[in-house]
Amino acid sequence: MSKGIKLFTIAGIRISLDYTWFIVFALFAWSLAFGYFPFRYPGFAKTTYVSMGLVSSFLLFACVLIHEMSHSITANRLGLDIHEITLFIFGGMAELTKEPDDPSVELKIALAGPAASAALALFFYLLSMTISFTDFPVAHAVISYLAMINAMLLVFNMIPGFPLDGGRVLRAIWWLKTGDMPRATMVASRIGRGFAMLLIISGVLQIATGNFTGGLWSVFIGFFLQSAAESGYQDMVMKRALKGVRVKDIMSAAVVTIDEKVTVAEAVDKYFLTRHHASFPVTGQGR
């Protein structure tokens, strides 16, 4: 996720935009401007709805950034090293250099993001109560939407399936109670994959009943979560399996070289297709 547009740095953490972010920003702005706001608040001009959609979409991603910043700042204070947050098509992702090695640290980091979303939802809700819809209808509509969407993000993220925050909370609690981090990861990962499958099935049903856009998003998010849950568990298994293993223990001891006079066709036939290495050193005149 490191490729993209570098924006600015906050508290030593670089904020970046993946190019896919522009796709989801446009989709959110369009769906709000021509779907949600006209349905909930009829009677405004089309240009007003477009402005509401753009502003709300921008502020939504600002809230996502605050959510990820809460994770990252907490992680850095607890000894982890997070240098970058990337906003992309499915929200935001903090670039972890390593996983926590203590369940209490994992729990604190996992809860930091949902706590920020809860605070934002409460803030926007209270703000909407102080702003009259009669006097400031556009501002009231946008602020009410932000209160609702932050509450929805909180609920969604706290679903107890890895890699969602709720899955990390479940893993941390299981790990804390049993001391078995691999087992805790496996359980949270399985729940995460199950939830992802529910999203995919729900998306397919929505598409079949006419809700193409909503269904397609459910399918995309489901596949993303399924892949992330599986890869998260596999990464943990791989790291534990390779811990303490030295390079010299797994390298090819008898190094196969190719003479510089060998043709490419011969190299393919006699080396790449028979010895199954990705590359070979080429030697010539003692070099």
Residue of 68, 84, 106, 266 with catalytic role: 68
* Nearest of 15, 247, 95 to residue 7 by alpha carbon: 15
- Token readout for 252 is 């090819």
Q: Are 108 and 92 in contact (CB under 8 A)?
A: no
Strand-pair partners of 259: 283
**By the 8 A CB rule, do 44 and 138 touch?**
yes
Write out the E strands in 59-205.
82-88, 91-96
Q: Are 113 and 69 in contact (CB under 8 A)?
A: no
Token pair belonging to 13 = 């953490």
Active site residue 68: yes
Taking alpha carbons only, the member of 262, 122, 104 closest to residue 181 is: 104
Element (H, E) at 60: helix 46-77
> How far is Cα 219 from Cα 227, in angstroms, rounded to an integer?
12
What are the angstrom distances between the C-alpha of 5 and each of 2, 14, 85, 90? 9, 11, 11, 16
Residues identified as active-site: 68
